[in-house]
Structure 1
Amino acid sequence: MDRARGPDDQPEREEFDRDGVGQGPEPQRVIGGDERRMHVRAYNHWISLLKGRTYPTIDELDLAGAGDFGPHGVLLDFSHDDAEPRIRFIGHAVREECGVTSGILRIADVPQGSLLARLTEQYPQILASRAPIGFEAEFVSQRGYPTLYRGILMPFSSDQRRINFIYGVINWKEVADARIQAQLAAEMADSRSTDAPPPAPVAPAWADGPSAGLDAPVADLRSASDVLRAAPALGSVDLDAGTEEFVLLLGRATLDGRVEIVGAVDGSDGLTQEAIRRLRRD
């Protein structure tokens, strides 16, 4: 028997295999805290609309005022046909991710293999459990990138007898697979080994003698770091930054003008320190 899960529950391995949630193996990588918090907020909003009833009424769902999860929302309408629900709303973030502009009116219109299909294929479970369900898995997106996704479906009713609307929220994150990460690490290591400057000559540490300028690179690094600490941020990404104050990110430019982060170099690495100095000179 299916067991309804809250928005932040982790499915057990046995249950995951039996239910087929996500239509794939349990993800090896865990989706980030921001994605989880979005679904908790969506679930709490659903709870706030209950008001002691079995289901919230669909009239109380404000799609335009749904907060940060509104652009990630999808509304299914079962009023006319449980087997072929209509799609009443698709948030703009989901539309952009799936390349959908118009023409999506029913489940049958949803592009196969898309992120939207990953959400809509879960609706039979909520009709059976009659309670909110959460799901997460990993798949290869339409652009060919490994993608983690996490979603929640929540029931609504107009008569408190049957579920005739389902509101879903889904979030996702593209990740570099192990092959790409290994390739990036090898290329970075090769770059450091071939481009590293020769070591400075060892000389007596006279105050005004031949070694007087050897501390200049350290001073330059400290000066450049001070400038970067006061500089405005251009953006932020959810990555493990380690213990160093600065990290060097490797980005891949896309055809639509975005930059996708594919790797990071620790701040203690000489490559990162050289980048700090170059930013100061620029």
Structure 2
Amino acid sequence: MTEIDTEQPFDIPEPRLRSLYDYWHSKMHGSALPARTDIDPLEMKEWLGNLMLIEFHGDVSSYQIRLDGTNLEHYYGTRRTGFGVEKLTSEEERHLLMEQYSAVLDAKRPAYYEAEFTNSDGVYSRQAKLILPLSADKEKVDMVLVRIYFRPTDQAEAF
């Protein structure tokens, strides 16, 4: 995991993720986190297929997927909008996500990840992921905006 300092420039190696980070950063209020109401879906058309919006209800294990992009639905093979942890594909994925989301909720900062894991179909995949915190009260992270790109691990090209 790479925790991102929002006060300093950060080199996100995946340009498709960098563009979303720049958009999110432009919605900050000084050093305060943007809220869901600051994010305009009409401004995000280019990212929607690989985007998730997740709302947390208390701790990290209690959340609901509010938006699951069509590319992500295709990859996972199921519609996950409206569901939470119970709809995740594998124990390995559940553990990985709880760890990633906890880090962002606790630090109140974005994070960039590259990971390998096995999905429910037994396919090893590499994942590049950017997790961006959102806060309705500018204090507590209550939602995250997530952009993900996958590729099988045997492919040589970049994400």
Q: TM-score range by the shorter chain?
A: 0.7 to 0.9
How far has the Cα of 1:82 moved from its partner? 2.3
What residue number does 2:46 align with? 68
Matching residue of 1:52: 30
1:47 is paired with a residue of what secondary structure? helix
- Mapped contact 1:8–1:39 kept (Cα < 8 A): no
CA distance in 2: counterparts of 1:142 and 1:97, whole angstroms: 11
Indicate the residue corresponding to 2:145 in structure 1: 167
TM-score of the superposition, structure 1-length normalised? 0.47
Q: Which has the higher contact order (CA 8 A, sep 6+)?
A: 2
Tell me the percent identity: 19
Equivalent position amino acid for 1:5 in 2 = I
Count, aligned residues: 152
Whether the 8 Å contact between 1:87 and 1:104 is mirrored in structure 2 is yes
Deviation sequence 1:239-266 (CA, Å, 0-9, x none)? 59xxxxxxxxxxxxxxxxxxxxxxxxxx
Partner of 1:213: none
Change (3 A) 1:53 1:103: closer
SS at match of 1:152: strand
User: C-alpha distance in 1, partners of 2:134/2:74?
Assistant: 26
Asked if residue 4 in structure 1 is aligned to residue 20 in structure 2, the reply is: no
Q: So what's the TM-score if we normalise by structure 2?
A: 0.79
Q: Which has the higher helix share?
A: 1
Q: How far apart are the structure 2 equivalents of 1:165 and 1:103?
A: 14
Counterparts of 2:81 and 2:22, CA distance in 1: 32
**C-alpha deviation, 1:146, in angstroms:** 3.1
Offset of residue 70 of structure 1: 1.6
Larger of the two Rg values belongs to structure: 1
- Report if the CA contact (8 A) 1:64-1:70 is conserved: no
Structural RMSD (CA): 2.9
- Unmatched runs of 5 consecutive residues or more in structure 1: 10-32, 178-237, 241-282
> Which residue of 2 is the match for residue 82 of structure 1?
59
Whether 1:98 and 2:97 are equivalent positions in the alignment is: no
The within-5 A match list for 1:75-154 is 75-78=53-56, 80-83=57-60, 84-101=62-79, 104-112=82-90, 117=94, 120-121=97-98, 122-154=100-132
The structural deviation recorded for 1:53 is 4.2
- Give, as a single letter, the amino acid of the residue that structure 1 aligns with 2:59: D
> Aligned partners of 2:34 and 2:112: how far apart in 1?
18
Could you tell me how far apart the structure 2 residues matched to 1:73 and 1:118 are? Answer: 20
Cα deviation, residue 102, structure 1: 5.1
| Residue of structure 1 in register with 2:134 after alignment | 156
Secondary structure of 1:50's match?
coil
